[in-house]
């Protein structure tokens, strides 16, 4: 119950024309980032219900606490983005976003390109960054100058009947109790999107925003195509957004900073030969079971179990024919019905040298699994898990010589083989989350990962985090 999507709710505010906008009194510390309270009377930041102060937040009404926490977030951002002379206005408010686990959303209010001093021609920049680079507020001459960014928090989360046991925590100390969603941490993340942590390109279709790439697209690099997003066509970008673990950030500052921010962890990969459609490195993810770290090695010819029993593929002890099929081989078993650990144990007992499971849903990505060895586990063969898409390629093209090797390496968690940080690119698109976040396998957890775990750093800088590093790459 501790994982929730952040959603990058694009333009959600644009449809609301009647919203009351007024500037909150600016405390002296918010030199650059100003919160505009966008809530109606008695709602959200204006909720007058009395509450006791919590976690360093002195507010005595729900609304006061919310606004205090939001300004606290703005203060952190203000201290971080020191290179701009321009005020950054953030229109913030609470809206009912439902009870599906959505916490919040944010984005730039608008994007600019080809302004004076723009480093890259024909390229979109988020408003706050564009103003910084231009040295002026680019929309100041308009009759209705707009804020630079907007941020929405889910009002429903504080309803007792919405995700019972879960509600916002408005303390400023980062010490949310169980069931408390840390508002400061979540909105710190959301303002990251508002400031410029997102591509402007539609990752679901690969289409540029109004025909022009965003500054992100100059740094999104696909290891399979060996090309940046700006050098791809629409179809290639669409495919690249689903290229799990192969979509990386190519910026120099972030690369350097990643080497002192991300921890070195065991990583299990597979190497496939003899299958025409699935060759070479294949991403795998699974807990370590009983093998000591670094010893999940092995190699062998593969055998699909195709266990047709209604109990599920590999869920019962293998009978004679099934055991003969997998003995001395790498057993390929479909995920589902029973626990992974049962399938691997059954294969081991039948004499398999290793197991590769195939994911049973289109969505696949490698979590930062707890790779600690389970010393009580009886499993002594290596096991991996591959995506449904890779499983289909393997099945369609495997020959009698198809071999899978387990490669148990150590590298910085959340980086590719060259140490470049990976973007979140699961095998099925998660609208608004795919591409515009770091990969979930990063460790320690980064602020701009797509799920709130609760232990993300409240700093935006290395060696605690890579948000500012990425910002420097794009012009902050």
Binding site residues, Zn ion, CB under 5 A: 6
User: Looking at beta carbons only, is 91 or 151 nearer to Zn ion?
Assistant: 151
Q: How far is the CB of 129 from Zn ion (least distance, A)?
A: 17
In 225-361, which ranges are continuous DSSP H helix? 234-240, 252-261, 320-326, 340-349
Give the separation between CA 194 and CA 149, rounded to whole angstroms: 5
User: Looking at beta carbons only, is 347 or 447 nearer to Zn ion?
Assistant: 447
User: Looking at beta carbons only, is 6 or 406 nearer to Zn ion?
Assistant: 6
Give the separation between CA 355 and CA 381, rounded to whole angstroms: 8
User: Looking at beta carbons only, is 73 or 268 nearer to Zn ion?
Assistant: 73
ω into 444 cis (within 30 of 0): yes
Vertex 472: Cα angle to 443 and 109 (nearest 5): 95
Q: How far is the CB of 5 from Zn ion (least distance, A)?
A: 8
DSSP collapsed to 3 states, 193-238: HHHCCCCCCCCCCCCCECCECEHHHHCEEECCCCEEHHHCCHHHHH
Q: How far is the CB of 291 from Zn ion (least distance, A)?
A: 35
Question: Residue 418: which residues within 8 A CB-CB, separation 6 or more?
Answer: none
- Phi/psi for 145 (5° steps) reads -55, 135
Q: What is the CA radius of gyration of the chain?
A: 24
User: Looking at beta carbons only, is 4 or 111 nearer to Zn ion?
Assistant: 4
Q: How far is the CB of 38 from Zn ion (least distance, A)?
A: 20
Q: How far is the CB of 308 from Zn ion (least distance, A)?
A: 43
Q: How far is the CB of 443 from Zn ion (least distance, A)?
A: 18
Q: How far is the CB of 98 from Zn ion (least distance, A)?
A: 17
User: Looking at beta carbons only, is 407 or 468 nearer to Zn ion?
Assistant: 468
**Residue closest to Zn ion (Cβ):** 6
Q: Is 397 left (phi over 0), alpha (psi -120 to 50) or beta?
A: alpha
- Phi/psi for 25 (5° steps) reads -55, 135
**Which tokens hold the place of 130?**
């564009």
In the block, which residue shows the tokens 């979930």?
440
Residue 156 DSSP label: G
Torsion of CA 395, 402, 224, 261, to 10 degrees: 100
User: Looking at beta carbons only, is 68 or 467 nearer to Zn ion?
Assistant: 467
User: Looking at beta carbons only, is 6 or 365 nearer to Zn ion?
Assistant: 6
User: Looking at beta carbons only, is 346 or 433 nearer to Zn ion?
Assistant: 433
The answer to whether 362 touches 239, Cβ cutoff 8 Å, is no
The answer to whether 404 touches 178, Cβ cutoff 8 Å, is no
Q: How far is the CB of 87 from Zn ion (least distance, A)?
A: 24
ω into 105 cis (within 30 of 0): no
Q: Is 282 left (phi over 0), alpha (psi -120 to 50) or beta?
A: beta
Q: How far is the CB of 405 from Zn ion (least distance, A)?
A: 36
């Amino acid at each position: 119950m501790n994982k929730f999507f952040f959603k990058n709710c694009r333009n959600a505010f644009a449809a609301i024309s009647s919203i009351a906008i007024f500037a909150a009194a600016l405390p002296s510390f918010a030199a650059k980032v100003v919160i505009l309270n966008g809530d109606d009377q008695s709602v959200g930041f204006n909720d007058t219900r009395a509450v006791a102060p919590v976690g360093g937040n002195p507010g005595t009404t729900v609304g006061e606490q919310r606004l205090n926490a939001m300004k606290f977030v703005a203060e952190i951002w203000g201290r971080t983005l020191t290179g701009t002379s321009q005020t950054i206005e953030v229109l913030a408010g609470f809206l009912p976003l439902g009870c599906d686990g959505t916490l919040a959303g944010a984005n730039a209010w608008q994007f600019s390109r080809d302004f004076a001093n723009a480093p890259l021609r024909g390229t979109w920049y988020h408003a706050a960054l564009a103003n910084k680079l231009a040295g002026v507020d680019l929309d100041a001459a308009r009759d209705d100058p707009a804020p630079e960014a907007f941020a929405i928090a889910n009002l429903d989360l504080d309803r007792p009947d919405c995700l019972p046991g879960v509600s916002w925590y408005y303390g400023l100390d980062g010490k949310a109790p169980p069931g408390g969603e840390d508002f400061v941490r979540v909105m710190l993340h959301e303002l990251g999107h508002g400031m410029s942590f997102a591509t402007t390109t539609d990752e679901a279709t690969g289409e540029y925003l109004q025909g022009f790439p965003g500054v992100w697209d100059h740094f999104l690099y696909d290891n399979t195509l060996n090309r940046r997003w700006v050098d791809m066509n629409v179809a290639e970008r669409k495919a690249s957004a689903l290229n799990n673990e192969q979509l990386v950030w190519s910026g120099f500052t972030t690369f350097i900073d990643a080497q002192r921010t991300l921890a070195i962890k065991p990583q299990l990969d597979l190497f496939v030969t003899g299958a025409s459609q699935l060759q070479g490195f294949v991403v795998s993810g699974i807990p370590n079971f009983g093998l000591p770290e670094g010893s999940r090695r092995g190699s062998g010819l593969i055998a699909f179990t195709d266990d047709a029993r209604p109990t599920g593929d590999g869920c019962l002890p293998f009978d004679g024919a099934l055991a003969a099929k997998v003995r001395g081989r790498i057993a390929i078993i479909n995920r589902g019905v029973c626990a992974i650990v049962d399938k691997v144990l059954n294969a081991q007992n039948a004499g398999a040298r290793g197991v590769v499971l195939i994911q049973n849903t289109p969505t696949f990505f490698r979590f930062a699994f707890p790779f600690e060895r389970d010393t009580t586990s009886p499993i002594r063969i290596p096991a991996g898990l591959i995506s449904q898409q890779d499983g289909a390629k393997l099945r369609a093209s495997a020959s009698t010589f198809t071999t899978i090797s387990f490669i148990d390496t150590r590298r910085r968690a959340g980086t590719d083989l060259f140490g470049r940080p990976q973007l979140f690119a699961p095998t099925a698109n998660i609208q608004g989350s795919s591409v515009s976040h770091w990969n979930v396998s990063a460790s320690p957890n980064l602020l701009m990962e797509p799920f709130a775990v609760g232990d993300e750093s409240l700093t935006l800088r290395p060696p605690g985090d890579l948000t500012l590093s990425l910002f420097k790459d794009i012009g902050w």
